[in-house]
Structure 1
């Protein structure tokens, strides 16, 4: 089985090794079994179970689950966190979420607990950002508008991918990854400069800020193509079912990024009223 994605290729090879070894779920002491009996199970070895492959339905269920957890966490944070602590909760959740996201992304480990924790933390972040824009800044109805726009873009990209209008070719993938790295670098530079009182205009609501937000929205929208391709290739390679958590994590990251950028863009236009 071949794929242009080196990460997926590595995971596919790992899946083949697991199937060949007869991977079994963790035993009573948390140790994985490989066709070996659990302690106290007797001397006769158990027949190695088949590793269940990942399906698109698995990814859909995991994605909906993570979205539900993120939404509930956001609502809880909105209600429970007092306005005086909004900034602290916002920054704290952003830092913790970034660290968890990097760990999950670079390790590529299918750890459901870690992914769920990420969803909870990002829910706090989303809740605090949303509360600031709607209640503190006074942009009434902006949260609902941003949610509708976010899912509208998501389903549009899903339809375009399904109809093969946009595909994750090697050239497209390289270009999009370069664009994502570039956007992230600009964000970090802007953040550092803002700490020293330098206003670059990227987040001030002017023409430059609007253009930059539009660029971020386009890049975030196109990132769904990479996520869809990852799911498609994961299913084709027969990755173990637990990797559906990793695929769902990728979709959640893009959704949150897209939502925040749309929320910010809407605030620019409402601020002109």
Structure 2
């Protein structure tokens, strides 16, 4: 997969990424067939009078400058990523914060309405968020509007889920928020230190484990819908290993997978910044982080609820 293996970045490769453009050279040192701005020279796309006028204007402007001014102009540092429309880490941070704010806004709605309406909004958010997650994943170019709409819908889902579980087990909502932030911070520190990387071997294990987890989740959901198991969390709480609910082991595995998905997100973002990806792909990076954080939060709050229910 492209850029770290995260499916969200797969197939995009940060299209349009190029190196920063060269600094214009002084007049008289341009390449053959081009002027100092990289534009066509005489007879290549413009009328002769237009080219000569442009060159004459530039030459007259140079003549009006002092030697010091010319030296300062030609010795200016090259434009950085932000000046050339390239993605930067700051762009990703800002846009991720905007996405998380949309998630928080959606969650706030479910916390102030009646519980039956909050439950309905939770279902709408889950279904709508799933659809928009697929749309944003397979779009070649990022759409800020669709990404923010996804974040708001996921906020409805998380808010409704939190309200229901927090009503059953008071305090799990706050604990899940703290747990999510803690895992994110630890994962980021480990990635920055170089101790954890998305190596090809680790990514193969991640894909195998994720497919296995997805198959289990699908079977569990079908059994709950058909009434084959009547436990609140299906097989997660109806089966035990050495007296410990199966959901505890599954939950720890899922949290580990979500944490490694963060590592792949960081790898993809780092690769995008280094390759000079266009600034618009910072929305793709923010979307990837938002998806992973939503997944991580769901797994943590479910694990906490299973542990509290087993008391």
**Alignment TM-score, normalising by the size of structure 1:** 0.80
Q: Is the 8 A contact 2:106 2:155 kept in 1?
A: yes
Structural mapping, 1:255-270, within 5 Å:
255-270=293-308
- Cross-structure match for 1:191: 221
Q: Is the 8 A contact 2:107 2:157 kept in 1?
A: yes
Corresponding position: 1:110 with 2:159: no
CA distance in 1, matches of 2:3, 2:248: 38
Bigger Cα Rg: 2
CA distance in 2, matches of 1:254, 1:11: 19
CA distance in 2, matches of 1:119, 1:99: 12
Deviations 1:50-97 (A, max 9, x none): 8511011111111111111111210122112x2123332222211111
Give the stretch that moved more between structures: 203-212 or 259-268: 203-212
SS of corresponding position for 2:109: helix
Q: Is the 8 A contact 2:86 2:279 kept in 1?
A: yes
CA distance in 2, matches of 1:268, 1:205: 12
Corresponding position: 1:174 with 2:207: no
| Selected match of 2:192 from 162, 180, 189 | 162
CA distance in 2, matches of 1:102, 1:174: 22
Corresponding position: 1:99 with 2:128: no
- Which runs of 5 or more residues in structure 2 are unaligned? 23-38, 40-49, 51-82
Query: Normalized per residue, which structure has more helix?
Result: 1
- Cross-structure match for 1:216: 254
- Which runs of 5 or more residues in structure 1 are unaligned? 21-34, 36-43, 45-49
Deviations 1:199-225 (A, max 9, x none): 252255852111111111111111100
Q: Is the 8 A contact 1:150 1:259 kept in 2?
A: yes
SS of corresponding position for 1:54: coil
Report runs of 4+ in structure 1 exceeding 4 Å deviation. Answer: 2-10, 17-20, 203-206
Q: Is the 8 A contact 2:99 2:151 kept in 1?
A: yes
| Selected match of 2:88 from 34, 55, 66 | 55
**Alignment TM-score, normalising by the size of structure 2:** 0.71
1:61–1:115 distance in 2 versus 1, CA, 3 Å: same
